[in-house]
């Protein structure tokens, strides 16, 4: 799966969480939380959706690393990558 495809699906998840926003306008380098009105319940629903759609289980200890859209895409990309030995916490 390419980064572009991952981004498209992540945006779809975010759009479901914040239907009032236009997620295509998000700045990929700015904290998502600063751009969308999301709370911890939204974050949990996001993580659940990522698990369902990508098969990627994001542990809570990695939450602080997932600040921007670019962080998210890279994280999922790495977790889906061939390097199965890569520890989830190593994405930085």
Partner 1 sequence: MADFLMPILGADMTEGTVVAWRKQPGERVERGEIIVEVETDKATVEVESFVAGTVETILVDEGRKVPVGTPLAVIGVEGEQPVAARPVPAVPRSSVAMPAPAPAAAKAPGARVRASPAAKQLSQELGVELSTVVGTGPEGRITREDVEQAAKVTARPVEEAPDRQTRMRRAIAAAMSRSAREIPHFHLAREIDMGVATQWLAEENEKKPVAGRLLYVVLLIKATALALREVPELNGRWNEGRVVENPAVNIGVAISLRGGGLVAPALLDADHRTLEDLMAGFRDLAQRARASSLRGAEITEPTITVTNLGEAGADSVFGLIYPPQVALVGFGRIVEKARAREGEITARPAITASLSADHRVVDGHRGSLFLAAIDRLLQEPSRL
Residue ranges in contact with partner 1 by CB under 8 A: 18-20, 37, 39-41, 44-45, 47-48, 51, 57-61
Q: Mapping DSSP to helix (H, G, I), strand (E, B) and coil, where does residue 41 land?
A: helix
Token pair recorded at residue 86: 């890569």
Nearest approach, Cβ of 21 to partner 1 (angstroms)?
9
Which residue lies nearer to partner 1 by CB, 22 or 59? 59
Which residue lies nearer to partner 1 by CB, 7 or 49? 49
Burial status of residue 56 (CB atoms within 10 A of its CB: 0-12, 13-18, 19 or more): middle
Which residue lies nearer to partner 1 by CB, 2 or 65? 65
Q: Is residue 69 a contact partner of residue 7, using CB atoms and an 8 Å limit?
A: yes
The CA-based angle 22-25-52, given to 5 degrees, is 65
Nearest approach, Cβ of 72 to partner 1 (angstroms)?
15
Q: CA-to-CA distance for 29 and 4, rounded, in angstroms?
A: 15
Nearest approach, Cβ of 9 to partner 1 (angstroms)?
17
Which residue lies nearer to partner 1 by CB, 20 or 83? 20
């Amino acid at each position: 799966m390419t980064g572009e495809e991952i981004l498209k699906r992540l945006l779809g998840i975010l759009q479901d969480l914040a239907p009032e926003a236009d997620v295509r306008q998000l700045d990929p380098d700015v904290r998502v939380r600063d751009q969308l009105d999301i709370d911890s319940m939204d974050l949990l629903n996001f993580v659940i959706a990522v698990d369902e759609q990508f098969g990627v289980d994001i542990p809570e200890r990695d939450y602080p690393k997932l600040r921007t859209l670019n962080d998210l895409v890279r994280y999922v990309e790495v977790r889906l990558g061939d390097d199965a030995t890569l520890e989830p916490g190593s994405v930085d």
